[in-house]
């Protein structure tokens, strides 16, 4: 089924608010605003909350969720998110739940008095007016789904008006849950559950011999009778007209059909529980719907099994812990500067990162006070990361302070980093850990010393053997390699490479060759230009890459290869190269470099989830051929180009070329008019799609 409105009815202490039940409650908003539904790709699903009770005596939720594709032969998985205190307004899209064929949906969960109203959940103006002059009815009755209307059979009914959306001329479907109170029938045509009938129109109701029936009138009325005799229990009754034939369904089963003529009624109001304000029904009614479309038998059966009592239509798995946000932190430090503390942190990648909050405490395990008055804006999504700073001015010199960094993603998930202690003396060591932890006056370069921790990051290697993976001799038109180096350190080998051109580069795999056998050391692709610039967009200046092979004590015979993969699955190999061996002990500065590479590698590895998702997405779309006016740079795998200029040299080279300077303060969208650019010296013949943006000699991602 496409765009199926699924009922989600849940109960439990966990659905209480954190205020009503601090121990068990997980919902933050007393209106359920923080309740959100997502699919397995984290896309938010349209939902409508019919009823939420988060009180101490409650813990119930009744919601309708639009499922884009509900498979008939496979389980469909969705996720319910909650507990985000930042969400203080509704996240519902009520009309988005109901597809374009729904003319009206009345949940009847309101409790109006005479001349009060029942809302229509579609975008149509079909609000129903409750009529009960003697106050004998009850609009707060217990329904099959939630609240319902109990009609007393004398003067109770709902009038929904005569909007054009209710004047359906072709195929249509009408449905309701009904619990008869009076099982007798007072007229041959039955008592109407829902009616828009006069000389033309339709009626869904009781038959003269206590069966359910569906009447169509196209100048002459006829009734298609069901077979189920009605008793005081809940029934799901559906009438369907496909343009030539009428069908009557009860509890998801087709009970009868017959050829029939029908003409739309454009004169009478649509009424629930009455026919032209007469023949009022004595029953309880819930969830009334009208569609300008013939709903299939399978759709109707699915609705019944989803909505019936004691439904096993879906199951609920145990609550999962919130997954960490995809923000990979390379460093987080607090350095004392006179009467302030400089907080610095750097990310290696950020996926869906909204921003950061900072907190301070005088006790690492104590209570923390929020420092930032508003969210420190993040990059949203970037595999390059960024450096951040914040100055804490409300401090006293030489007092120990501890800081926590919180990142918040687009879905409200929060991850804490820290704590870190302030370093007042500037020796690079937190002041609560200034002493040599092992008391050995050594250079502190072993793994047991907490002052220097060189992380070891080892992935399960894939041994392809002599007959497995082999280097490809294919020509790589999508990437130009400038340099590829491997540097041997105490803890492993740092691999670094640069490109000078990329387009549609999906990424790289790194292979280690030893004694004729190949070992893939990358668990997934190191992301290429597709993830920075997007498909079809060129990076004429390329990028820099790093990877770490945690291989202490190598044999000295290791060789390394790069395998480059384009968006269409093509591949080309570069190599082999032999690691450079340092002739002296690794300096502390180089150790820091290795640690940085290791952390960066970890961040790139964590991007594999996003890489796989994008790969699936792109594989479902036709690969588009795009022409380019930019210079297409060719590469000879056997003869890589000269290395790129250093950024400062690149900046001087750029300054000598015609160009236009645009001063950009931060990430975001900027509008620059063509007259301004031309007046500044840009040729009017330049295609702006191929403009390049540089900052300090390094190309930055830009979309025009």
d(CA 178, CA 213): 13
What pLDDT score was predicted for residue 652? Answer: 63
Question: For the chain, what is the mean pLDDT?
Answer: 79
SS3 of 42-57: CCECCEEEEEEECCCC
Q: Is 301 found in the same domain as 340? A: no
**Chain position carrying tokens 């051929």:** 625
d(CA 573, CA 510): 10
What pLDDT score was predicted for residue 446? Answer: 37
SS3 of 414-476: EEEEEEEECECCCCCCCHHHCCCCCCCCCCCCCCCCCCCCCCCCCCCCEECCCCCCCCCCCCC
Angle at 417 between CA 411 and CA 418, to 5 degrees: 160
3-state helix, strand, coil in the chain (%, to 5): 10, 40, 50
Q: Is 594 found in the same domain as 550? A: yes
Tokens of 623: 């690969």
**Chain position carrying tokens 């029904």:** 281
Rg (CA), the chain: 34
Q: Is 526 found in the same domain as 384? A: no
> With bands split at pLDDT 50, 70 and 90, how would you rate the model's confidence at 221?
low
What pLDDT score was predicted for residue 515? Answer: 82
Q: Is 282 found in the same domain as 252? A: yes
d(CA 369, CA 362): 10
Q: pLDDT tens digit string along 145-199? A: 999 999 998 889 999 999 999 999 999 999 999 999 876 655 556 789 999 987 8
What pLDDT score was predicted for residue 651? Answer: 60
For residue 127, being part of any structural domain is answered with yes
Residue 616 has pLDDT above 70, yes or no: no
d(CA 170, CA 434): 82
For residue 618, being part of any structural domain is answered with no
Q: pLDDT tens digit string along 318-337? A: 887 655 567 878 888 899 98
d(CA 121, CA 5): 12
For 689, phi then psi, to 5°, come to -65, -20
Task: Report, as an integer, the average pLDDT of 467-487.
Answer: 84
For residue 374, being part of any structural domain is answered with yes
d(CA 85, CA 480): 48
d(CA 331, CA 691): 33
Q: Is 262 found in the same domain as 346? A: no
| CA proximity to 282, closest of 67, 113, 138, 451 | 138
Q: Is 301 found in the same domain as 347? A: no
Q: pLDDT tens digit string along 357-367? A: 999 988 876 67
Q: pLDDT tens digit string along 656-684? A: 666 666 666 565 666 777 787 788 777 77
649: left (phi over 0), alpha (psi -120 to 50) or beta: alpha
Cβ proximity of 546 and 593 under 8 Å? no
Q: Using the 8-state DSSP alphabet, how is residue 566 labeled?
A: E
Longest dimension (CA), the chain: 104
| CA proximity to 395, closest of 439, 353, 362 | 362
Q: Is 116 found in the same domain as 83? A: no
For residue 367, being part of any structural domain is answered with yes
Residue 479 has pLDDT above 50, yes or no: yes
Q: Is 380 found in the same domain as 284? A: no
For residue 527, being part of any structural domain is answered with yes
Structural domain count of the chain: 5
For residue 87, being part of any structural domain is answered with yes
**225-245 residues labelled b (16+ CB within 10 A) or e (exposed):** bbeeebeeebbbbbbbbeeee
Q: Using the 8-state DSSP alphabet, how is residue 321 labeled?
A: P
Q: Is 273 found in the same domain as 124? A: yes
Q: Which of the listed residues 421, 437, 453 is the one where a domain comes to its end?
A: 421
Q: By residue range, what is the domain housing residue 365?
A: 327-421
d(CA 248, CA 256): 6
């Amino acid at each position: 089924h496409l765009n199926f409105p699924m009922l989600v009815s849940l109960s439990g202490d966990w659905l209480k608010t954190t205020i009503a039940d601090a121990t068990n409650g997980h919902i933050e908003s007393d209106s359920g605003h923080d309740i959100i539904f997502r699919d397995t790709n984290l896309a938010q699903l349209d939902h409508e909350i019919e009823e939420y009770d988060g009180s101490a005596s409650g813990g119930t939720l009744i919601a309708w969720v639009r499922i884009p594709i509900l498979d008939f032969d496979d389980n469909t998985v969705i996720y319910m998110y909650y507990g985000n205190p930042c969400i203080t307004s509704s996240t519902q899209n009520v009309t988005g739940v109901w597809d374009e064929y729904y003319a009206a949906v009345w949940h009847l969960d309101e409790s109006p008095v005479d001349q009060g109203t029942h809302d229509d959940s579609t975008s149509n103006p079909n609000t129903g007016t409750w009529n009960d002059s003697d106050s004998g009815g009850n609009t707060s009755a217990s329904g099959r789904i939630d609240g319902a209307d109990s009609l007393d059979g004398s003067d109770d009914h709902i009038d929904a008006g005569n909007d054009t959306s209710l004047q359906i001329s072709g195929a249509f479907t009408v449905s309701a849950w009904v619990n008869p109170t009076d099982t007798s029938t007072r007229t041959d045509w039955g008592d109407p559950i829902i009616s828009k009938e006069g000389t033309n129109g339709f009626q869904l109701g009781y038959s003269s011999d206590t069966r359910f029936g569906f009447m169509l009138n196209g100048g002459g009325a006829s009734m298609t009778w069901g077979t189920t005799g009605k008793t005081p229990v809940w029934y799901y009754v559906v009438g369907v007209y496909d343009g030539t034939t009428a069908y009557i369904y009860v509890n998801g089963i087709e009970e009868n059909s017959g050829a029939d003529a029908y003409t739309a009624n454009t004169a009478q109001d649509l009424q629930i529980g009455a026919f032209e304000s007469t023949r009022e029904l004595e029953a309880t009614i819930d969830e009334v719907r009208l569609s300008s479309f013939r709903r299939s038998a399978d759709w109707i059966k699915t609705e019944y099994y989803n909505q019936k009592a004691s439904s096993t239509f879906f199951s609920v798995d145990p609550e999962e812990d919130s997954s960490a946000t995809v923000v990979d932190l390379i460093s987080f430090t607090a350095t004392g500067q006179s009467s302030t503390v400089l907080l610095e942190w750097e990310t290696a990648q950020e996926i869906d990162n909204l921003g950061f909050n900072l907190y301070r405490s005088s006790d690492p395990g104590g209570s923390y006070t929020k420092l930032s008055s508003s969210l420190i804006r993040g990059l949203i999504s970037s595999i390059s990361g960024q450096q951040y700073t914040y100055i804490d001015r409300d401090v006293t010199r030489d007092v120990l302070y501890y800081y926590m960094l919180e990142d918040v993603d687009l879905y409200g998930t929060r991850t804490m980093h820290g704590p870190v202690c302030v370093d007042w003396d500037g020796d690079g060591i937190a002041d609560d850990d200034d002493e040599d932890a092992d008391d050995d006056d050594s250079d502190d370069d072993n793994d047991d010393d907490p002052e220097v921790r060189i992380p070891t990051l080892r992935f399960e290697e894939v041994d392809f053997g002599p007959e497995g993976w082999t280097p490809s001799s294919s020509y790589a038109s999508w990437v130009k390699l400038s340099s590829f180096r491997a540097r041997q350190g105490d803890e492993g080998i740092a691999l670094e490479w640069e490109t000078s051109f990329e387009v549609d580069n999906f990424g790289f795999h790194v292979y280690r060759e030893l004694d004729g056998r190949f070992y893939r050391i990358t668990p997934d692709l190191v992301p290429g230009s597709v993830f920075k610039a997007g498909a079809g967009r060129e990076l004429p200046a390329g990028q820099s890459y790093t990877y770490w092979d945690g291989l202490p004590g190598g044999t000295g015979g290791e060789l390394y290869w790069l395998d480059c993969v384009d968006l269409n699955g093509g591949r080309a190999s570069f190599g082999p190269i032999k690691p450079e061996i340092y002739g002296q002990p690794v300096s502390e500065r180089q150790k820091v470099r290795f640690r940085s590479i290791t952390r960066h590698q970890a961040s790139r590895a964590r991007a594999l989830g996003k890489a796989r998702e994008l790969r699936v997405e792109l594989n479902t779309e036709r690969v588009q051929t795009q022409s380019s006016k930019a210079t297409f740079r060719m590469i000879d795998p056997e003869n890589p180009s000269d290395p790129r200029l250093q950024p400062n040299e690149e900046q001087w080279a750029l300054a000598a070329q015609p160009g236009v300077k645009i001063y950009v303060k931060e990430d975001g969208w900027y509008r620059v008019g063509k007259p301004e650019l031309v007046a500044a010296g840009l040729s009017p013949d330049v295609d702006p799609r191929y403009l390049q943006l540089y900052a300090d000699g390094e190309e930055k991602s830009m979309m025009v």
